[in-house]
Amino acid sequence: MSLFSFCRWMAEWTANYMLIPVFDFQKNLFPPFSHPAGTIADWLGTDGGLDTLAWTFAVNIAFAIGMTNLILVIHLERKIAARIQDRRGPMLSFRSFRELGEDLAGEAPSWRFKDNYSGIGILQNMADGIKAITKELIVPAKADKFLFTMGPIIFISSSVFLLVLFPLSDRFAASSAPAGLMVIMAAFSIAPIGVLTSGWASNNKYSMIGGMRSAAQLMSYEIPLLLSMAGVFLLAGSFDPVTIVEQQQEGTWLFGLPMWNFIPQFLGFIVFMICILAEVERVPFDLPEAEAELVEGWTTEYSGIRYMLFLAAEYIRGFAGAAVCTILFLGGWAGPWPIPPEIWFLSKVYLILIFWIFIRWTVPRIRTDQILELGWKKLLPLSLINILIVIFMVEIYPYFSDIVNLPEVF
Amino acid sequence: MALDLLFFWILAGLILAAAWAVVNGNDIVHSVVWLSTVFLLTAGIFILAEAEFLAVIQVLVYVGAISVVIIFGIMLTKRTLKGGEDV
């Protein structure tokens, strides 16, 4: 059963037992308003209405899964960072919430902090969220008010949009656009406008420099990123994630292992990993928000929930970037049988994310002049060489192997 | 079909409003943001015309690259911070 058919079933149930009776009741209760209520009930009975409702459910489910993963990724980052720095990370959030509740109820704390230091820290994100929501949203006096509020909206909405675009498996997809991966890249490419406008509107030199760096980085790394993706598109002959993953299962390698794209296109894989790190602005490519030199760059003037949503949007972009990398190069949701494909997909995504977290806490940031040199002089030629290799594999080798009877390698 | 037409007129109205804001704004950076809104909504028109790939490329090229280059050009030219200080 696919996600959409499940949602369709849920939509039929909701329409028949919850929505249409309400509209009918309303129609009987207020005869003057009977006409619009009647048309909505009629529309919900048709295929179009049910499909619309079903897509709404599917998008909401994908969004909820993405947000849950966001919380887990942030927690993972905190814990692994703490372990690398020989700390323990957030440990006591459950007990802190309990103590808060007991405090509000006027009771004495039922446990002693000094007695036992063990605990679970996964609610730390909730505590941070509550803190961010209750803080004041400061707008600087001389900032450009309109763009100062528009910038976060552009950045965060284009990032959250990413969550519903990639499929978790061939049956679990909230979006079935045939140009699926190009839609993801288009959503990725909207963000620089939000970054630039919020950096400019803060009316602050450092925010402005951070915004400029960010846009320069995002734009110059988008070119090798798309070129390294082009190799995969050429091999699969499609932009559709499902087709790309199926194509990767066809060829075999040593011991009958499936030849996922990172084996024949190793160059493209390396270029893609570096470029997607720059695209989601993680260390070592976090120049735009270099906290040591630019005081958090283009997010300096933001406070409260806006700043927290900026951070959340960056993790969402990281999650989506890792998902795209899994689909393109790591065989997507393919894996041995007993584990469901969605779990395979998520475990591959988490593998990449953990790799990125290790990079973040062990590797220093690169310099501004190095970043453009790396992008234009190293990654761009490498991605072009990757495309040449793929063209040789797809077009030239089969042509000659037909004529002179070469062994079938690719 | 009627729903398509409704969405078309909504999009057309929004595009015209955003285009009016481009030429009528006081600040040139506001104009560029409105211009990128026009590009984004035009992609919506392409989706309604069932030219999905064209819509994606419209967003990728016009919103992702051309608007950013225009904003770059504006921001790299000389301006003063609000409050009179030279940058």
Distance from CA of A192 to the nearest CA of B (A): 7
Mean model confidence pLDDT for chain B: 83
Q: Reduced to 3 DSSP states, what percent helix, strand and coil does chain A have, rounded to the nearest 5?
A: 70, 0, 25
Q: How many CB atoms lie within 10 A of CB A322?
A: 26
Task: Write down the pLDDT at residue A319.
Answer: 92
Task: Write down the pLDDT at residue B87.
Answer: 47
* pLDDT band with cut points at 50, 70 and 90 for residue A40: low
Work out the average pLDDT over A320-339. Answer: 88
Cβ–Cβ gap B67/A193 under 8 Å: yes
Spans of all domains in chain A: 3-89, 91-134, 142-404
Would you say how long chain A is, in residues?
Answer: 410
Residue in the structure block whose two tokens are 């040199």: A373
Q: Are A258 and A168 in contact (CB under 8 A)?
A: no
Distance from CA of B34 to the nearest CA of A (A): 11
Per residue in A368-390, pLDDT tens?
778 888 888 888 999 999 999 88
Work out the average pLDDT over A188-200. Answer: 86
User: Looking at per-residue confidence, does B87 or A76 come out higher?
Assistant: A76
User: Looking at per-residue confidence, does A36 or B10 come out higher?
Assistant: B10
| Contacts by A128-137, CB closer than 8 A, 24 or more apart | A128/A308, A129/A308, A132/A304, A132/A305, A132/A307, A132/A308, A133/A304, A133/A305, A135/A303, A135/A304, A135/A305, A136/A303, A136/A304, A137/A303, A137/A304, A137/A305, A137/A306
How far, in Å, CA of B87 to CA of B71, rounded?
Answer: 17
Cβ–Cβ gap B33/A197 under 8 Å: yes
Q: How many CB atoms lie within 10 A of CB B18?
A: 19
Instruction: Name every residue whose Cβ is closer than 8 Å to that of residue A178 and which is 6 or more positions away in sequence.
Output: A238, A239, A240, B52
A193/B contact by beta carbon, under 8 A:
yes
Q: Are A152 and A159 in contact (CB under 8 A)?
A: no
Per residue in A149-187, pLDDT tens?
888 888 899 999 888 888 888 888 887 777 888 888 888
* pLDDT band with cut points at 50, 70 and 90 for residue A35: low
Residue B12 clears pLDDT 80, i.e. is over it = yes
Work out the average pLDDT over A182-200. Answer: 87
Considering only the beta carbons, identify the residue of B56, B69, B72 that sits closest to A182: B56
Buried b (16+ CB within 10 A) or exposed e, A262-298: bebbebbbbbbbbbbbbbbbbbbbbbbbbeeebebbb
Distances from the Cα of A248 to the Cαs of A244, A259, A286, A330, A333, in angstroms?
A: 6, 6, 32, 9, 11
Residue in the structure block whose two tokens are 């149930």: A13
* pLDDT band with cut points at 50, 70 and 90 for residue A213: confident
Task: Write down the pLDDT at residue A272.
Answer: 92
- Predicted interface score ipTM higher than 0.85: no
Residue A187 with chain B: CB contacts under 8 Å:
59
Residue A348 clears pLDDT 70, i.e. is over it = yes
Tell me which of A226-235, A304-313, A366-375 is least confident.
A366-375
Q: Best residue in B1, B3, B33 to probe A by mutation, most A CBs within 10 Å? A: B33
B4/A contact by beta carbon, under 8 A:
no
Give the distance from CA A133 to its chain's centroid: 23
> Please, what are the domains in chain B?
2-76 (1.20.120.1200)
Residue A194 with chain B: CB contacts under 8 Å:
none
How far, in Å, CA of A209 to CA of A192, rounded?
Answer: 13
Task: Write down the pLDDT at residue A30.
Answer: 64
Token pair listed for A155: 């950045």
Residue B17 clears pLDDT 90, i.e. is over it = yes
* pLDDT band with cut points at 50, 70 and 90 for residue A292: low
Task: Write down the pLDDT at residue B42.
Answer: 92
Q: Where are the alpha helices (DSSP H) in A177-265?
A: 180-201, 205-236, 241-248
Task: Write down the pLDDT at residue A352.
Answer: 93
